[in-house]
Amino acid sequence: MSNFIIPNLQKEKIESYLKEGKRLDGRKAEEYRELFVEDGVSENSASAVRVRFGKTEVLAGVHLALAVPYPDSPDSGTFMTSAELHPMASQQFDIGRPGINSVELARVIDRGIRESGFIDMKKLCIKEGEKVYQVFVDIVAINDDGNLLDVAGLAALIALGRARMPIYNEEEDKIEGYSETEKIPLENDVLSFSMTFHKVGNVIVADVGHEEEAISKFRLTVAMGDNGGVPRITAMQKGKAGTISSDDMETILKLAESKWAEMFPKVKEYVFK
Amino acid sequence: MVKKGRQIVVPGEVVATGNEFLPGDGAYRDGQDVVAGRYGILDIQEKQVRVVPISGAYYPRRGNTIIGTIVDITFNGWLIDFGGAQNAFLPVAEVPRYINRNELREFLDFGETVVVKVWDVKARGIDVSMKMRGFGKIEGGMIIPVNSNKVPRIIGKEGSMIKLIQGATGCEITVGQNGKVWISGKDGDSEIATKKIIEFIAENIVISGLTEKVEKMIKEMGFKTSGIEIIAENTDEGSEE
Amino acid sequence: MGEGIYTKREDGRAFTDVRSMKANVGIVPSADGSASFETGKTKAIAVVRGPRTLHPQHMQNAQTGILRVSYGMMPFSVEDRIRPGPNRRSEEISKVTEWALSSVVDLSGFPNTVVDVFVQIPQADAGTRVAGINAAALALAHAGIPMKEMVSAIGVGKIDKTLVVDLDKFEDSVFHDGEGSTDIPVVVTSRTKEIALLQLDGKISVDEFKQTIEMAKKACDDVLKVQIDALKNMSEVKDE
């Protein structure tokens, strides 16, 4: 009753094509779909962008609000990521409470941004122990044609990269719109982005379409940042029930390094535009 | 008054006025007027006025040929996912040979693909059969999902479009009216070319000149189109009912 | 009109003018039907999935399919972030939208099924429910759902003593002077010109109310033009 039942013959065909280094849409195993980025989805927030890989589309927006800091870090802003894999985007997503897929997606992206220190939280403190900015990243899936993880992850980074600083009215203690010129404080040097690789048949595949995603044995998301021109791993998440052999790991890491070298300049350009 | 056929009409649009016109599928009468009851292309045959959908979900009809996948096996038949509102049921009595109750899975297993005929559409689901010639299990090849409303264009008048593609790429093609197109070729290149052509037809509602466009595409891909006679298309027509 | 304190609109529109509108059909490839509708800075997208089997089974109706609408604002659509998920306001708007659309949709051919309409607002500047309904009507048509006619929606109202069409956020929720602001979302059917949704929030005389309804009907003709244009010139349609 869903489009996600993949017939055996389709699975066999996808796998046999991959043995010859081909995919049904004509791409090579490690090739990403065309990336599309659009700004200005909502001018009521600090930023809001639309990001597409092929037909997979995600909106991401950033909001800043006033908050009380956590007692253990009284001089730091706070941060939260939420994701809605809305039933609008796929027949697979349910109506109602966010499912485990939304929660995992939001948590993986949240950790990646938080742990890398990409947002300079100290600069988001207004008054120590009393008032800080809380940064919200909200992700809404519009159309799922596979690899929402990478599309959403990139959308979150681009939205943060373009997020404007709020204008704080101290007297009335409220935010009055966003600055035209000032962006939120980011540690540009620690930017890292994630790439998800799936094992489909016997081949490691990048940027899966939804059929490949449905039949893959496992996925491994690798986030990498720049360490003096050399990629450095900043976060990982393995998904699905399959296990990773040493050879697979070797292949994925090599692929991740070469894809990172190819894509990082482009990602940087989009994020810090 | 009657509007010119083969144009896009919207719900609520008056497409003909006068008692001589008969509202068919997708149209309804209101006083003197015949009104479009859905979005699609206006089709006028004599005094019969109907609106043929160009988008939206697939609705099975008796006699349709559909392609689907076995998703469940019961004590007396198979449940088939074909991308519709409900699964289709294939009773054990509707396959071409006698099957023992405990052999169901050996005959058709989970995940296998079949081409079947719709023989009954009920409120709770549809029943299908594979007793006739040309129906049964499909092996190998691949499925290309398209919008079911584009199927008549992929088939072409009396199958002319399929013949054109098959003649050029050498791929076998079976079209399910539920928007599942099965293709199988000798090599990957011919299959990918066939897939691209079918997707081109499905993604473009070209109201006229489709055959010429496909011929051009085939030539650009380096295939030959000779030896096939193309019948002048009338793409509004369902090819087979 | 014109005796009150509200004599000029900030964006230069005449009081009976709608904001600039834009509509697009077929924006979400995996859906059965989809559309976007923009009025000024208010943007709405609508996605239709179905007819499909309704679960749980006891909610099914053996005589007809059911239309189910879910309206929501994206967290970043307004200045104060909205928590994702349903709230009281979105649930009410979902229901009135469902009624408005059900008045023209005919699902008797699809018993035991549901047609889901998802309306989402990426950017809000008042009038989100009417923009959502305009997008939803387009998405339902695009999904090939049987419909007797289209519906078009507009917000009308009264700012102090002045009757206006298509209120923006300032007029809808910032303006409080004089007699304040009255907001009246209206949905009009495209052929029979009847009212499929009506809500009112404010203070207005019976005569003024009658006038605003006439203004709404005129404005809905403009909305309908934009909707028909989007359907007839769907990007994938190429007539040569």
- Domains of chain A in start order, with CATH, are 8-271 (3.30.230.70)
Burial of residue B13 (number of CB atoms within 10 Å: 0-12, 13-18, 19+): buried
* Chain B residues close to C239, C-beta within 8 Å: 206-208
Domain enclosing residue C143, as ranges: 21-232
Within 10 angstroms of residue B23's Cβ, the number of other Cβ atoms is: 20
Least confident span in B112-116, B231-235, C114-118, C200-204: B231-235
Q: Are A214 and A173 in contact (CB under 8 A)?
A: no
CA distance C70 to C47: 10
- Interface residue C144 vs chain B (CB under 8 A): yes
Residue C53 reports pLDDT greater than 90: no
Give B238's pLDDT tier (boundaries 50, 70, 90): very low
Region B125-148: mean pLDDT is 94
Nearest-angstrom CA–CA distance, B36 and C105: 13
- Residue C29 in domain: yes
Helix locations, B117-225, DSSP H: 151-155, 160-169, 188-203, 210-220
Which segment of A22-36, A88-102, C100-114, C155-169 scores lowest on mean pLDDT?
A88-102
What pLDDT sits at residue B6?
A: 87
pLDDT at residue C240 greater than cutoff 50: no
Q: For position A97, what pLDDT does the model report?
A: 67
Q: How far is B36 from chain A (nearest CA, A)?
A: 28
Tell me the three state secondary structure of residue A262.
helix
C72 contact B CB<8A: no
What pLDDT, in 10s, does the model give residues B151-169? 999 999 899 999 999 999 9
Q: Is the pLDDT of residue B227 over 90?
A: no
Whether residues C144 and B124 touch (CB distance < 8 A) is answered with no
SS3 state of residue B219: helix
Where residue C145 sits, what CATH number does that domain have? 3.30.230.70
Nearest residue of chain B to residue C52 (CA atoms): B85
Chain C contacts of A45, Cβ < 8 Å?
76-77, 79, 81
Q: Does the pLDDT of residue B233 top 70, yes or no? A: no
In 3D space, the residue among A70, A27, A64 whose CA is nearest the CA of residue A45 turns out to be A64
Is C141 within a domain? Answer: yes
Buried (b) or exposed (e) across A196-208, using 16+ Cβ within 10 A?
bbbbbbebbbbbb
pLDDT higher than 50, residue C237 = no
| B112 close contact with A: CB closer than 8 A | yes
A24: nearest CA partner in chain B: B192
Would you say B55 and B38 are in contact if contact means Cβ atoms under 8 Å apart?
no
For residue A92, the model assigns a pLDDT of: 82
User: What pLDDT sits at residue B122?
Assistant: 84
Write the DSSP symbol of residue B186: S
User: Residue C81's closest CA among A178, A51, B215?
Assistant: A178
Beta strands in chain A (DSSP E): 35-38, 47-53, 56-67, 78-84, 125-127, 131-143, 164-169, 174-183, 192-200, 203-206, 219-227, 230-239
Mean predicted lDDT score pLDDT of chain C? 94
Q: Is residue C50 part of a domain?
A: yes
pLDDT of residue C2: 47
Confirm if B11 and C106 have CB atoms less than 8 A apart.
no
Q: How would DSSP label each residue in A73-116?
A: -TTS-EEEEEEE--TTT-TTSPSSS--HHHHHHHHHHHHHHHHH
**Contact yes or no for C29 and A145 at CB 8 A:** yes
Partners of B71 on chain A (C-beta within 8 Å) are 1, 5
Q: What is the number of domains present in chain C?
A: 1
Percent of chain B's residues with pLDDT above 70: 92
Question: In 3D, which of C32, B113, B205, B145 has the Cα closest to residue A24?
Answer: B145
C12 falls within a domain: no
Question: Pick from C79, C116, C123: which is nearest to A87 by CB?
Answer: C116
Between these two residues, B24 and B231, which has the higher pLDDT value? B24
Residue A259's φ and ψ, nearest 5 degrees, are -65, -40
How does the average pLDDT of chain B come out, rounded? 89
The answer to the question of residue C108 being in a domain is: yes
Rama region for A17: left / alpha / beta (φ>0; ψ in -120 to 50; rest): alpha
Tokens linked to B13: 């649009």
CA-to-CA distance for C121 and A30, rounded, in angstroms?
Answer: 36
Residue the block writes with tokens 């519009």:
A142
Q: Is residue B240 over pLDDT 70?
A: no
Q: Do C66 and C115 meet the contact criterion of CB atoms below 8 Å apart?
A: yes
pLDDT in tens, chain A (273 residues): 334 689 999 999 999 999 999 999 999 999 999 999 999 999 999 999 999 999 999 999 999 999 999 999 999 999 999 998 988 998 888 776 667 888 999 999 999 899 889 999 999 999 999 999 999 999 999 999 999 999 999 999 999 999 999 999 999 999 999 999 999 999 999 999 999 999 999 999 999 999 999 999 999 999 999 999 999 999 999 999 999 999 999 999 999 999 999 999 999 999 998
* Top-confidence residue, A168 or B6: A168
Residue pair A205/A216 in contact (Cβ under 8 Å)? The answer is yes
Contact A134, A65 (CB under 8 A): yes
Q: Which domains can be identified in chain B, with CATH numbers?
A: 8-52 (2.40.50.100), 65-138 (2.40.50.140), 142-220 (3.30.1370.10)
Its pTM stands at 0.93
A contact chains, 3+ CB pairs < 8 A? B, C
% of chain B beyond a pLDDT of 90: 73
Closest approach of C91 to chain B, Cα-based (Å): 26
DSSP B176: -
Residue whose pair of structure tokens reads 């294939």 in the numeric block = B90
Look at residue A227 in the predicted model and tell me its pLDDT: 93
Angle, helices A148-161/A246-271, rounded to nearest 10 degrees:
30
pLDDT tens digits, residue range C128-144? Answer: 999 999 999 999 999 99
pLDDT of residue B22: 97
Q: According to the model, what pLDDT value does residue B102 have?
A: 85
Q: Which residue's structure tokens are 């924006």?
A: C27
Which of A62, A142, A148 to mutate: most C Cβ within 10 Å? A142
Q: Give the pLDDT band (50/70/90) at residue C167.
A: very high
Record: contact A88-C120, CB cut-off 8 A: yes
Q: Per-residue pLDDT for B183 more than 70? A: yes
Q: Which residues pair with B77 in a beta bridge?
A: B74, B91
Touching check for A241 and chain C: CB below 8 Å? no
**C77 at interface of A, judged by CB pairs closer than 8 A:** yes
SS3 A118: coil
The verdict on a CB contact (< 8 Å) between C50 and B57 is: yes
In the block, which residue shows the tokens 């998920």? C85
